[in-house]
Amino acid sequence: MNQFALTKQILDFNRTTFETTYGTLNQLQEQSEKIMNTWIEQADWIPADGKKAVADMSATFKKGCQEFKKFVDENFVRVEAYFTEAQK
């Protein structure tokens, strides 16, 4: 088997693994957030500032995850382009 074809298969496998894992963890995070929000809404003893802090933390976490995924996706494209060029 050609080394570039093998490398492409490994890259595709890694990309698929990342996409699947990221999607699963994203769904887990969304469900956890829904549970947490429901609990916080029902907890009268938590002050408004505390509720806002939790909402801000959740938004920051989501933004960080989106930026991480974007970074990984961009680098998969770069690696793929590198091996495509090297194959020529």
How does pLDDT run across 62-84, given as a tens digit for each residue?
A: 999 999 999 999 999 999 998 88
How does pLDDT run across 6-33, given as a tens digit for each residue?
A: 888 999 999 999 999 999 999 999 999 9
- Using CB atoms within 10 Å of the CB of residue 18, give its burial: 0 to 12 exposed, 13 to 18 middle, 19+ buried: middle
- Cα distances from 63 to residues 69, 75, 84, in angstroms, run 10, 18, 32
Q: Over 90: is that where the pLDDT of 5 sits?
A: no
